[in-house]
Amino acid sequence: MLQVENLTKTYPSEDGVQTVLGGVSLSLDAGESLALTGESGSGKSTLLTLVAGLDHPDGGTIRFQNHDLTHLDDAARADLRRGQIGVIFQQFNLIPSLDVAANIAFHARLSGQADADWCETLAERLGLAGHLTRYPEQLSGGQQQRVAIARTLAARPKLVLADEPTGNLDEDSSDIVLDLLIEGVRETGAALLMVTHSLRQAEKLDRRLHLSHGRISP
Amino acid sequence: MRRAAFNALISHWRKHPVQLVSLLLGLALATALWSGVQAINAEARASYDRAAGILGQDELQRLEPRAGTIPLADYIKIRRAGWLASPVMDGAINLNEAQARLIGIDPLTTPPQSSPVDLSGDGDLQAFVMDGLLFAHPETAAQIPDTLPLVRATDTLTPGIIITDLSTASELLGTDNFARLILAPEQPINLPPLSEVAPNLLLVAPEEGNDIARLTDSFHLNLTAFGLLSFGVGLFIVHAAIGLAFEQRRPLFRTLRALGLRKSTLLGLLASELFALALIAGTLGVALGYLVAAALLPDVAATLRGLYGAQVSGALTLDPAWWLSGLAIALLGTAVAGAQSLWRTAQLPILAPAQPRAWAIASLKSLKRQAVAGVGLIAVAALLAAHGSGLTIGFVLLGCLLVGAALTLPLFLHFSLNLASRFSRTALSDWTLADTRQQVPGLSLALMALLLAMAANIGVGTMVSSFRVTFTGWLDQRLAAQLYVTARDQAEAEALAQQLDGAVDAILPIRYIEAQIEGAPGQVYGIIDDITYRENWPLLAAAPDVWDRLAAGDGALINEQLSLRESLTPGDTVRLGPVQFTVLGVYSDYGNPRGEAILSLDQLRAQGAQIEGLNFALRLPETRVGEVTELLTNAGLPARNIRDQAAIKAFSLDVFERTFTVTGALNVLTLGVATLALLTSLLTLSTMRLPQLAPVWAMGLTREKLARLELLRAVILAALTALVALPVGLALAWVLLAIVNVEAFGWRLPMALFPGDWIGLFVAALIAAALSAAWPAHRLATRPAADLIKVFAHER
């Protein structure tokens, strides 16, 4: 489903060009979950943004569902994100002007896959049923991240990308939210690629890859 | 410590150049429009003062005829009685391309303090008396034809005025009579009373002299109100920029305080910073104001000439006080715009949250509070409209109406967008409307500025267009004759009348005298009984059988200005010179600042005044205009003494259009400032909005599409603002037409509606909004993905 081959990415810096990814390769099958671990600055988040089509690599290929992301233009990558890829961020990044119900349904409605029953089920399952008319600023961090997960799952993406989804939460909340994410992803049959610092959390996923200085290390 | 702290504070502006530019530009524009208008007013007032000072009218008593002019015999009688009086001739002469007022004086009897020209140079007096030396402002001197005697240019005179000796004036004006007699301040004792020596003359006190200044006060008040409106609109930008800069620096304030900077020192540094910015922007603004004034002054001068006959120089000469007052208003404006931010900073606890408070997000509660204040002001405006009167009340009403409407705007936008979202069917429209609603508080100041500019545009536009429609109709009625003829002397007038008898349908003599009407100077016309007047003369109110009674000498018609000023209606009596007449009717008389009355020609003659009979209006079929014109030309009458109806209408309409050029220009400038306010707000918000836009981008909307939505959002807000601006603008037009203009000009116009103009302005507002949003939208469309990705990586 997802094949990343020899991916490279550099950024200009005051000391010259800084290599963030130095030839990363990985693959992910449908329904599979993969944890990406590594120290700060190892390139985990950069890899995720490239796979999401949010940024363009300097070299290598990213094949997803028979599409080569590296050869798609901005609009085509946006189409792919809208229809088949869901992204969950550490900062939740909910839409502050919409209430919880509208936030949950938003991505699904954008992709033309709105299913009110499914949204309701997700809200119920993620413990958000009592907060549907509230706005993001009125929720706790844990609640906001559950809304972000529900928003992604509501669109039934083929691939879920999560960048430290519990990084802003305390340990108890983290476990609850992560369990809900894994359960939801499995139920929808999506693949999950998750960036995390926590080895304990990484162990909950099917596989784990460690990134160090922009390269996969054994 | 202070220096380090100051450097830290001003480093904000290096990081936010757009904010700095918007603050400086907003303040500079506000100052420019205000000080530009003040420069125009100052120049005009200086001209009035110079005019009023001619011949000491502002200092010396004078004798004026109750009607007509003063014969030489009357002057001799006064001198023989021992009164020290100096005669003055006053009349109009044609120059190359314009008319000028020619004043003839007797330099030997003119009191020293009233001498309008300096004759102390060698041979000056001789040249003045013997050679016919003319003195005039350089602008006027340049227009004097070479055929006239010696000309000397002098800045001490008002444009449009020529001073010469009595004998030269008598020759050029073709009269031996005097317009007035100036009385010397020191008179011999035991003189016989003037009422016995000259019962036909009126003693006029010096303070009554400056009629033009009094007449034009309201016009200048109108200009000042416009300047103030523009200044207010500019201050919206300044207030927004200062507010944002203070909000964004709250963490820095806290850090500085935590490092030991006293609150008073911090406030002092912030005030110094604002002072420095105000000085820079003020200097720029005053310089811009000079350019604005220089550009507008020729049109203002034309307006004042057209409306009031006031002569104002088209060139700008300014004193240092004006520059200083411009800087002072910039400082005052900055103080007003920054007071709230400084106050908030003064109240800031040292351990206040470091996170900048969401500047753009105001609670619905505060919007409601603001709207309640707005509704209160609108209620005050309604009360004033129902029960108030006078120019000052009119402007207070306008202020309440405009500020009240501006304060209610954000809540109106909030609820309108809420309502629209109920009909939304897609995720994108849901989000667009919700996001637009969330942007309202951040854009409210700019949108209020847009509202004020649009309302002013609709209001003033409706007033001007109503005026144009009424004025054009009135011209069609009043200029019923096809040709207007001016003979050069009485003999020619009589010869022409004989020649035209039978060649035209009617010869309508145009006869008038200058007279005191209800104690103020004015003109009294005499007309013959002719169907032309009965069919065409525009009467606003009339007694039964008005024309028959006028022809029978039963009373007088008066113009609307006189009717409003003296509260006279048909049936009342009006004092024309020493005689009282019954008011038979009131006619509209646009463009005339003075009181005017019409009697039958026989009645006018019966007043005993000497009337020149040089002007005629001729009624004839349109097809014969060319033929009759040729007849008159062949009789030796110069072409410039024959004017056809179309030429006079074109001239009048040209005067009209020039009259409102200035208001039109100020309208456009105000709209421009509002557009700039919107642009700077959108630019400022665009950097703060990334956290709202990035998640939507991550979910599959391209930056181009987001940019298009940004444009759409600005257009939606401008369209909703325009909806509010329409009723506010119409209310403004009503106040201008029904209250302000009646006080300012002395006539009331029917209000006409011009939906075509509204549509034009609506489209202009949408274009202005789209242009304002174009740059921020372009920045979003071309923004590197890395900027948006940062939103996910860092805390907001």
pLDDT of residue B796: 33
pLDDT tens per residue, range B457-493: 888 888 888 878 877 877 777 778 888 888 877 788 8
Q: Which residue of B has its CA nearest to A11?
A: B786
Q: From the first residue on, what is the mean pLDDT of each consecutive set of 10 residues in chain A (218 residues)? A: 92 84 92 91 89 90 90 88 88 84 90 88 90 88 89 92 84 83 88 90 92 85
Q: Cβ B695–A95 below 8 Å, yes or no?
A: yes
A79 touches chain B (CB under 8 A): yes
pLDDT tens per residue, range B396-423: 888 899 989 999 999 999 999 999 999 9
Kindly tell me if the per-residue pLDDT of B682 is higher than 60.
yes
Kindly tell me if the per-residue pLDDT of B314 is higher than 70.
no
Kindly tell me if the per-residue pLDDT of B55 is higher than 60.
no
Side-chain-facing half-sphere of B261: CA atoms under 13 Å: 24
Chain A residue numbers touching B430 (CB-CB < 8 A): 98, 102, 106, 109
Q: Cβ A81–B698 below 8 Å, yes or no?
A: yes
Q: Could you say which of A98, A114, A163 has the minimum Cβ distance to residue B792? A: A163
Q: Cβ A90–B696 below 8 Å, yes or no?
A: no
Report whether B45 contacts B289 (CB < 8 A).
no
pLDDT tens per residue, range A82-141: 889 999 988 778 888 888 999 999 889 888 888 899 999 999 988 899 999 998 888 888
Distance from CA of A82 to the nearest CA of B (A): 4
Report whether A114 contacts A108 (CB < 8 A).
yes
Chain A residue numbers touching B703 (CB-CB < 8 A): 74
Q: Cβ A110–B701 below 8 Å, yes or no?
A: yes
pLDDT tens per residue, range B154-179: 877 777 788 888 888 888 887 888 88
pLDDT of residue B186: 80
pLDDT of residue B218: 58
> pLDDT-based confidence at B113, cuts 50/70/90?
low
Kindly tell me if the per-residue pLDDT of B655 is higher than 80.
no
Chain B residue numbers touching A11 (CB-CB < 8 A): 786
Total Cβ atoms within 10 A of residue B726: 16
Q: Round to whole Å and give the CA distance between B681 and B240.
A: 8
pLDDT tens per residue, range B237-257: 777 778 778 877 877 787 777
Q: Cβ A93–B695 below 8 Å, yes or no?
A: yes
- Across B356-365, B414-423, B538-547, B661-670, least confident range: B356-365
Kindly tell me if the per-residue pLDDT of B355 is higher than 50.
no
The mean per-residue pLDDT over the stretch B62-72 comes to: 77
Q: Cβ B796–A91 below 8 Å, yes or no?
A: yes
Question: One-letter amino acid identity for B71?
Answer: P
A64 touches chain B (CB under 8 A): no
Runs of H (alpha helix) within B249-319: 250-258, 263-308
Q: Which residue of B has its CA nearest to A135?
A: B434
pLDDT of residue B654: 76
Axis crossing angle, helix B211-248 with helix B391-422, rounded to the nearest 10: 40
Q: Cβ A94–B792 below 8 Å, yes or no?
A: no
Chain A residue numbers touching B431 (CB-CB < 8 A): 95, 97-98, 106
- Across B19-33, B46-60, B81-95, least confident range: B46-60
The DSSP code for B580 is E
The mean per-residue pLDDT over the stretch B568-581 comes to: 87
Q: Could you say which of A105, A110, A163 has the minimum Cβ distance to residue B700? A: A110
Q: Cβ B699–A106 below 8 Å, yes or no?
A: yes
A113 touches chain B (CB under 8 A): no
Q: Cβ B700–A75 below 8 Å, yes or no?
A: no
Q: Cβ B792–A93 below 8 Å, yes or no?
A: yes
Total Cβ atoms within 10 A of residue A151: 28
Side-chain-facing half-sphere of B533: CA atoms under 13 Å: 22
Distance from CA of A208 to the nearest CA of B (A): 22
Q: Which residue of A has its CA nearest to B696?
A: A95
For B142-178, b where at least 16 C-beta lie within 10 A, e where not — what string?
ebbeeebeebbeeeebbbbbbbbbbebbbebbebebb
Q: Cβ B698–A54 below 8 Å, yes or no?
A: yes
Q: Best interface-test mutation with A: which of B792, B795, B796 has the largest number of A CBs within 10 A? A: B792
% of chain B beyond a pLDDT of 70: 87
Kindly tell me if the per-residue pLDDT of B384 is higher than 50.
yes
Kindly tell me if the per-residue pLDDT of B632 is higher than 80.
yes
Query: DSSP of B146-173, one letter per residue?
Result: TTSS-EEE-TTSPTTEEEEEHHHHHHHH
- Considering A51-65, B433-447, B529-543, the range whose residues carry the highest mean pLDDT is A51-65
Token code pair at residue A132: 């549907």
pLDDT of residue B205: 67
Distance from CA of A81 to the nearest CA of B (A): 5
Q: What is the 3-state secondary structure (H, E, C) of chain A?
A: CEEEEEEEEEEEECCEEEEEEEEEEEEECCCCEEEEEECCCCCHHHHHHHHCCCCCCCEEEEEECCEEHHHCCHHHHHHHHHHHEEEECCCCCCCCCCCHHHHHHHHHHHCCCCCHHHHHHHHHHCCCHHHCCCCHHHCCHHHHHHHHHHHHHHCCCCEEEEECCCCCCCHHHHHHHHHHHHHHHHHHCCEEEEECCCHHHHCCCCEEEEEECCEEEC
Kindly tell me if the per-residue pLDDT of B214 is higher than 70.
no
Sheet holding B99-105, edge to edge: B151-153, B134-136, B161-165, B99-105, B85-94, B180-183, B62-65, B201-204
Total Cβ atoms within 10 A of residue B529: 15
Q: CA-CA distances (angstroms) from residue A172 to A34, A111, A184?
A: 22, 33, 19
% of chain B beyond a pLDDT of 90: 16
Q: Could you say which of B426, B430, B793 has the minimum Cβ distance to residue A45? A: B793
Give the three-state DSSP class for B587. strand
Q: Cβ B427–A106 below 8 Å, yes or no?
A: yes
Mean pLDDT, chain A, rounded, equals 89
A56 touches chain B (CB under 8 A): yes
Write phi, then psi, for A148 (nearest 5 degrees): -60, -40
Kindly tell me if the per-residue pLDDT of B360 is higher than 50.
no
* pTM of structure: 0.70
Q: Round to whole Å and give the CA distance between B379 and B369.
A: 15
Chain B residue numbers touching A91 (CB-CB < 8 A): 791-792, 795-796
Kindly tell me if the per-residue pLDDT of B210 is higher than 50.
no
Q: Which residue of B has its CA nearest to A78?
A: B700
Chain B residue numbers touching A89 (CB-CB < 8 A): 695, 698, 792
Question: Which value, in Å, is the radius of gyration of the alpha carbons in chain B?
Answer: 33
Kindly tell me if the per-residue pLDDT of B183 is higher than 90.
no
- Considering A32-41, B600-609, B685-694, the range whose residues carry the highest mean pLDDT is A32-41
Kindly tell me if the per-residue pLDDT of B224 is higher than 80.
no
Distance from CA of A130 to the nearest CA of B (A): 22
Kindly tell me if the per-residue pLDDT of B112 is higher than 80.
no
Chain B residue numbers touching A101 (CB-CB < 8 A): none
Q: Cβ B428–A49 below 8 Å, yes or no?
A: no
> pLDDT-based confidence at B547, cuts 50/70/90?
very high
Kindly tell me if the per-residue pLDDT of B361 is higher than 60.
no
Kindly tell me if the per-residue pLDDT of B354 is higher than 50.
no
Q: Best interface-test mutation with B: which of A77, A91, A147, A160 has the largest number of B CBs within 10 A? A: A91
Q: Which residue of B has its CA nearest to A75?
A: B702
% of chain A beyond a pLDDT of 90: 39
Q: Round to whole Å and give the CA distance between B32 and B282.
A: 8
Task: Count CB pairs under 8 A between chains A and B.
Answer: 89
- Across B115-124, B391-400, B445-454, least confident range: B115-124
Q: Best interface-test mutation with A: which of B422, B699, B703, B780 has the largest number of A CBs within 10 A? A: B699
Kindly tell me if the per-residue pLDDT of B795 is higher than 50.
no
Kindly tell me if the per-residue pLDDT of B430 is higher than 80.
yes
Q: Which residue of B has its CA nearest to A48?
A: B789
Kindly tell me if the per-residue pLDDT of B13 is higher than 80.
yes
The mean per-residue pLDDT over the stretch B609-625 comes to: 80
pLDDT of residue A5: 93
Kindly tell me if the per-residue pLDDT of B621 is higher than 70.
yes
- Considering B61-70, B335-344, B682-691, the range whose residues carry the highest mean pLDDT is B335-344
A75 touches chain B (CB under 8 A): yes
Runs of H (alpha helix) within B54-85: 72-80
- The better pLDDT of the pair B661, B262 is held by B262
Block residue for tokens 């309302």: B455
The DSSP code for B402 is H
Q: Cβ A81–B785 below 8 Å, yes or no?
A: no
Q: Round to whole Å and give the CA distance between A117 and A21.
A: 42
pLDDT of residue A100: 93
Q: Could you say which of A98, A102, A107 has the minimum Cβ distance to residue B699? A: A107
Q: Best interface-test mutation with B: which of A13, A93, A113, A135 has the largest number of B CBs within 10 A? A: A93
- The better pLDDT of the pair A38, B747 is held by A38
- Considering A129-138, B7-16, B786-795, the range whose residues carry the highest mean pLDDT is A129-138
Q: Round to whole Å and give the CA distance between B105 and B253.
A: 72
Q: Cβ B791–A75 below 8 Å, yes or no?
A: no
Q: Which of A1, A62, A3 is nearest to A191 (CA)?
A: A1
pLDDT of residue B216: 63
Q: Which residue of B has its CA nearest to A165?
A: B792
Q: Cβ A56–B785 below 8 Å, yes or no?
A: yes
Q: Cβ B431–A93 below 8 Å, yes or no?
A: no
pLDDT of residue B663: 72
The mean per-residue pLDDT over the stretch B643-668 comes to: 76
pLDDT of residue B608: 61
Q: Which residue of B has its CA nearest to A105?
A: B427
Kindly tell me if the per-residue pLDDT of B14 is higher than 90.
no
Write phi, then psi, for B261 (nearest 5 degrees): -75, 130
The mean per-residue pLDDT over the stretch B282-302 comes to: 84
Q: Round to whole Å and give the CA distance between B377 and B370.
A: 11
The DSSP code for B191 is P
Report whether A205 contacts A37 (CB < 8 A).
no
Block residue for tokens 């001209």: B47
